[in-house]
Each structure stands twice: as C-alpha cells, then as structure tokens.
Amino acid sequence: MSKFKDAVGQKLGRIRVLEYLPRSRPNNLRARFRCRCDCGKETVVAASNIFGGSRTHTRSCGCLAAERSGDRNRTHGKSRSPEWRAWRNMRARCYVRTHQAYHNYGARGIKVCDRWINSFENFLLDMGERPTSEHSIERKDNNADYCPDNCVWATKVSQATNRRTTRFITASGKTLSVSQWARETGIGITTIRQRIRLGWPPELAVATLPDRATTCGTSLRYGRSGGFS
C-alpha cells in the first residue's frame, strides 16, 4: 500500500495522481487513484492500469487516444473510400490465401512494396484519387509487384488489354492488342486472329480489308513462298 500512497503527486504521461482510493468494499479487489488530466478532466484509474504489468498503461483520461485517432483521420480523410478499398483489396490479393484472386497474385509471388504495405497515406499520396468510378488499380507489368512505378489507375478496357493472355501484334512499328487493331482498322477481331493463325504476316493481317465476294481474309493460308493458298 505504501507504494500506492507514494504515487500521489506523480505525473504519468498526461495525468497527475491526486489521491489514493483504497478498496471500498471487501469484494472490491482493485485499488484506484483519482487523477487529473492535462486537459482538465478528472478521472478514476485502477492502480493496475498505472503500475501493473499490463502492456496498455493509462497515460491520459482518453483524450490522447482521441487525438491520435483524429490525426489519422485528418491524414487522409478517406476511410471507406474507393481508394481505401482498392488499397485493402490489393493487399488481400497478395497476402490472404483465402482470397478468391490469391492464386493470380500472392501465389505467383506478387507483393506490395514496403512503402504501401502498411500505409494507406503513402498509397494515396503516390496514386492520387481514382479519376472515375470506371478506374481501378492496374500494374503495368503483370509479373511485377504493386509499387508506385508499376501502378496506374486504369479502366477495365485497358486492363483487359494488359492481361497475360492478351495477344499482341506488331505491324509497321506499332504494337497493339488484337482488339485494339480491330478498333483501329475496322477489321473484325475473329478475322485478325484467324489470319495470324493461318500464317499471315502481321502487316497484311491488320491492313487487308475482307472481300465479301470471296473468302479472302478468313480462310486463306499464307505459305512460306510468300503467297496465299
């Protein structure tokens, strides 16, 4: 009991011990202190919460935790926002084995960089707000990690273009996906794919408009000698 009485007058964090309050009833096993916080509020604190072996010690009336929580909210003010959900889901894909997409991310060794893994604030600072509701986070290199240099906000169309299974065709110094070539040339996606499968040179596959009067462009095989057969 002497150590409790000697505690009167001590300053612990933001609180100052004013008075020792002994057990008021035989079944009350907790000795207490009446304390005053720097904010001016008086509070009664169990002695074990000040001098005990608990990892969580009382150092204020509660105002310190409230301030820290407020600081976190003021840092980004985006809790539960689309950006926050993108950050949370990004980490889940890489580290939560039960996530439905884990096999395409964490199981392949894809990680989140040290700057982002535990800091939504850094993620938001680097990525900024997503431009529209159609955008989501996308990695430029599908075999690389989530990091500032490898991530952008992208639409579903551009993400589909960047899938590992997407077929790219290089013609006349330009590399585009089959769907992009189709939009640019007006030639059907199926036609371009079949031409490539039949051995057509890329330049011809994406430049020759189909002739509806013949089967040209859909079934002719391009031979090694440089002609159709």
Q: What would the pLDDT profile of 96-121 be if each residue is shown by its tens digit?
A: 988 888 888 999 899 999 999 999 99
Average pLDDT (109-137) is 90
Greater confidence (9 vs 226) lies with 9
Measured between alpha carbons, how far is 87 from 51 in angstroms, rounded to an integer?
40
Average pLDDT (141-160) is 80
Q: Left (φ > 0), alpha (ψ -120 to 50) or beta: where does 74 sit?
A: alpha
Percent of the chain past pLDDT 90, that is, above it, reads 16
Nearest 10 degrees: CA dihedral of 48, 49, 50, 55?
110
Greater confidence (64 vs 130) lies with 130
Structure tokens at 64: 């310190």
Greater confidence (147 vs 65) lies with 147
* Helix and strand counts by DSSP (H, E) for the chain: 10, 8
pLDDT at 168: 75
